[in-house]
Amino acid sequence: MGCGYVTVPTFDQATRDLLKKHVPDFQQVDSLVVQEISNFNWLWPLVEAKCFDKSACMTSISNYFTDEIAAICSFTMPIEYFSNRYLHSMDAEEKFTALLSDHGVKLRDDISAGLCAGSNNKEQAIALALICYRLRNNLFHGNKGQFGFAD
């Protein structure tokens, strides 16, 4: 009789099965991208449990980041990437709207504040965590790979 633990290979297969079911062009998705998606889906619940009082939401994410925690590292590269993706690229508005789904103005404002030039480490950390939260939710509940998984 099993103890109910999920192994990494089982989780990887479950992720692939989910993507196959919901992504029309799944066969064209690079295997490394699929592995990265699986790794992200495996790690995010651990971050939720450890950092966000077992369940991430906008409030628990925003409350977690103190100035001291946010000062641990630099967020320059991901901030540049996501700032371009959601604020400055030609299709930024469409991508930002898809990320947010129906979660409204407050989420948009919190993410934008961290992606804007002059934002501090705390604002950046909150923005990046909120982006991860929405990406994960979109993978499981929303618009899976609307702009391509390699993007």
pLDDT of residue 90: 94
pLDDT of residue 45: 82
Alpha helices (runs of H) in the chain, residue ranges in sequence order: 8-22, 31-51, 58-64, 67-70, 76-83, 92-100, 104-115, 121-141
pLDDT of residue 1: 45
Sign of CA dihedral 25, 139, 148, 51: negative
In this prediction, the residues of the chain whose per-residue pLDDT falls under 70 are 1-6, 54, 142-151
Q: Taking the CB of residue 144, how many other CB atoms lie within 10 A of it?
A: 17
**121 contacts 75 by C-beta, under 8 angstroms:** yes
CA–CA dist 107, 59 (Å, integer): 10
pLDDT of residue 103: 76
Q: For the chain, what percent of residues have pLDDT higher than 70?
A: 87
pLDDT of residue 93: 92
